[in-house]
Homo-oligomer: A and B are copies of this chain.
Amino acid sequence: MTFEVPAHSAQAVAKPASRIRQKNEEAIIKAAEDEFARHGFKGTSMNTIARNAGLPKANLHYYFTNKLGLYIAVLSNILDLWDSTFNALSVDDDPAQALSHYIRAKMEFSRRQPQASRIFAMEIISGGECLNEHFSQDYRAWFQGRAAVFQAWIDAGKMDPIDPVHLIFLLWGSTQHYADFATQICRVTGRARLTKQDMETASDNLIRIILKGCGLTPPAV
- Of B38, B135, B187, B190, which contacts A125 at CB under 8 A? B38
| Oligomer: number of copies | 2
Find out whether the CB atom of A126 lies under 8 angstroms from the CB atom of B180.
Answer: no
Q: Which residues of B contact A38 (CB under 8 A)?
A: 125-127
Interface presence of A208 (CB below 8 A): yes
Interface size of A by CB at 8 A reads: 57
Find out whether the CB atom of A184 lies under 8 angstroms from the CB atom of B124.
Answer: yes
Query: Looking across the interface, which residue of chain B has its beta carbon closest to that of A209?
Result: B213
A contact residues vs B (CB 8 Å cutoff): 37-44, 118, 121-122, 124-128, 131, 135, 139-140, 143, 160, 162-163, 165-167, 169-170, 172-178, 180-181, 183-185, 187-190, 201-202, 205-206, 208-215
Closest 4 CB pairs of A and B: A173-B177, A213-B213, A42-B43, A43-B43
A-B contact pairs, 18 of them (CB 8 A): A39-B40, A43-B126, A124-B181, A124-B183, A128-B183, A128-B187, A140-B187, A143-B189, A162-B208, A163-B201, A169-B185, A170-B205, A170-B209, A172-B177, A177-B177, A208-B213, A209-B214, A213-B214
